[in-house]
Amino acid sequence: MADKFEALEQQLEMFIENTRQLGIIVGDFQPQGQPVLNQKLHTMVTGLQEVDKLRSQLQDVQIPLEVFEYIDHGKNPQLYTKDCMEKSLARNESVKGKIETFKKFKMLLIVELTKVFPQEMNKYRALRGDDRPG
């Protein structure tokens, strides 16, 4: 699995370097440099063809759209996983707090219902198989 990512990474790094070199050539273009420019353009086309060939090896890879939003906003895409974990932990704590609150509410409700409806609550506990008084 890692090999196919490494191959793509190498191709993309070469493409980025060729793009940088092309920018230099175009930025300081001299008519006698046309063959070098043509060669560099050909190298870039070949590089894109190589990236396209690697596409079939990576079709089973699923990437959340939010990762692309991170990239679009100039953030490191690796921060996406960290942020997801932090959000999950915070949500988990919130849910645990709600569960504890509902447990306390249930306990208080049973106590108060037992005071008002002792016979009915005894029947309720018997149906549940719960012998505890509250």
Domain ranges within the chain, ordered by starting residue:
1-61
Distance CA 118, CA 126 (A): 12
pLDDT score at 119: 93
- Asked if the model's pLDDT at residue 45 lies above 90, the reply is yes
Exposure pattern of 94-121 as b/e (b: 16+ CB <10 Å)?
eeeeeeeeeeeeeeeebeeebeeeeeeb
29 phi/psi in degrees, rounded to 5: -70, 130
pLDDT digits (tens, 9 = 90+) for 69-107: 989 999 988 889 899 999 999 999 999 999 999 999 999
> Which of 61, 55, 48, 53 is CA-nearest to residue 16?
48
